[in-house]
Homo-oligomer: A and B are copies of this chain.
Amino acid sequence: MSDAREKAVPHLSPEEFRRLGHRMVDWIADYWARVESFPVRAAVAPGEVAAKLPAHAPEEGLEGAEGWEAIFRDLEDVVLPGLTHWQSPSFFAYFPSNTSGPAVLGELLSAGLGVQGMLWSTSPAATEMETRVLDWLAGLLGLPAAFQSGSGTGGGVIQGTASEAVLVALVAARERARRALGREAEWVAYTSTQTHSSVLKAAMLAGVANGAQDGVHLRQIDTDGGYALRPDLLEKAVREDLAAGRQPFFVCASLGTTSSGAMDPVRAVGEVWERTGVRASGGWLHVDAAWAGSALLCPEYAALREGLEVADSFAFNPHKWLLTNFDCDAFYTRDRKALIDALSVTPEYLRNAASASGAVIDYRDWQVPLGRRFRALKLWFVLRHYGARGLRTYVREHIRLAERFAAWVEEDARFELAVPRSLSLVCFRLEPRPGEAPGDTDTRNRLLLERLNASGQAFLSHTVLPGVDGAPARYVLRLAIGAVRTEERHVRAVWERLVALAGE
Is A384 close to B, CB under 8 A? Answer: yes
Determine whether the beta carbon of A342 is less than 8 Å from that of B128: no
Determine whether the beta carbon of A97 is less than 8 Å from that of B124: no
Query: Looking at the complex, which one of B32, B84, B87, B385 makes contact with A61 (CB distance below 8 Å)?
Result: B385
As for how many copies of this chain the complex holds, the number is 2
* Chain B residues whose C-beta falls within 8 Å of the C-beta of A107 in the assembled complex: 107-108, 111
What are the interface flags for A165-188 relative to B under an 8 Å C-beta threshold, 1 for contact and 0 otherwise? 001000100110011000010000
Q: How far is the CB of A138 from chain B (nearest CB, A)?
A: 10
Determine whether the beta carbon of B326 is less than 8 Å from that of A373: yes
* Chain B residues whose C-beta falls within 8 Å of the C-beta of A27 in the assembled complex: 109, 112
* Chain B residues whose C-beta falls within 8 Å of the C-beta of A87 in the assembled complex: 113-115
Give the most central of A46, A371, A385: most B CB within 10 Å: A371
Is A354 close to B, CB under 8 A? Answer: yes
Is A50 close to B, CB under 8 A? Answer: yes
Query: Looking at the complex, which one of B31, B99, B128 makes contact with A82 (CB distance below 8 Å)?
Result: B128
Determine whether the beta carbon of A385 is less than 8 Å from that of B67: yes
Determine whether the beta carbon of B124 is less than 8 Å from that of A42: yes
Per the 8 Å Cβ criterion, residues 51-65 of A in contact with B are 53, 55-62
Is A403 close to B, CB under 8 A? Answer: no
A349 and B82 in contact, given A42-B123, A105-B24, A109-B27 (Cβ under 8 angstroms): no
Return the chain B residue nearest A383 by Cβ.
B57
* Chain B residues whose C-beta falls within 8 Å of the C-beta of A53 in the assembled complex: 128-129, 132
* Chain B residues whose C-beta falls within 8 Å of the C-beta of A123 in the assembled complex: 42, 82-84, 86
Determine whether the beta carbon of A104 is less than 8 Å from that of B111: yes
A99 and B112 in contact, given A29-B17, A369-B160 (Cβ under 8 angstroms): yes
Determine whether the beta carbon of A171 is less than 8 Å from that of B345: no
Q: How far is the CB of A195 from chain B (nearest CB, A)?
A: 9
- Determine the distance from Cα of A267 to Cα of B394 in the docked complex, in whole angstroms: 58
Is A393 close to B, CB under 8 A? Answer: yes
Give the most central of A21, A87, A383: most B CB within 10 Å: A21
Per the 8 Å Cβ criterion, residues 179-230 of A in contact with B are 179, 184, 196-198, 200-201, 204-208, 210-212
Determine whether the beta carbon of A61 is less than 8 Å from that of B386: yes
Is A73 close to B, CB under 8 A? Answer: no
Is A152 close to B, CB under 8 A? Answer: no
Is A408 close to B, CB under 8 A? Answer: no
Determine whether the beta carbon of B11 is less than 8 Å from that of A484: yes
- Determine the distance from Cα of A272 to Cα of B463 in the docked complex, in whole angstroms: 49
A32 and B46 in contact, given A350-B197, A371-B327 (Cβ under 8 angstroms): no
Determine whether the beta carbon of A160 is less than 8 Å from that of B160: yes
* Chain B residues whose C-beta falls within 8 Å of the C-beta of A349 in the assembled complex: 94, 258-259, 461-463, 478
A2-10, A233-241, A301-309, A496-504 - the one binding chain B: A2-10
* Chain B residues whose C-beta falls within 8 Å of the C-beta of A384 in the assembled complex: 58, 61-62, 70-71
Determine whether the beta carbon of B20 is less than 8 Å from that of A22: no
Query: Looking at the complex, which one of B125, B200, B344, B369 makes contact with A83 (CB distance below 8 Å)?
Result: B125
Other A-B pairs, 12, CB within 8 Å; known A12-B101, A21-B105, A53-B132 = A10-B386, A21-B104, A31-B113, A78-B125, A79-B125, A82-B128, A86-B114, A86-B116, A197-B370, A201-B368, A259-B349, A349-B478
Cross-chain pairs A/B with CB under 8 angstroms, 10 sampled: A9-B386, A11-B484, A21-B22, A41-B121, A48-B124, A49-B124, A60-B387, A82-B126, A87-B114, A349-B478
Shortest 8 CB-CB contacts between residues of A and residues of B:
A82-B125, A21-B25, A61-B387, A28-B112, A207-B207, A99-B114, A57-B136, A12-B101
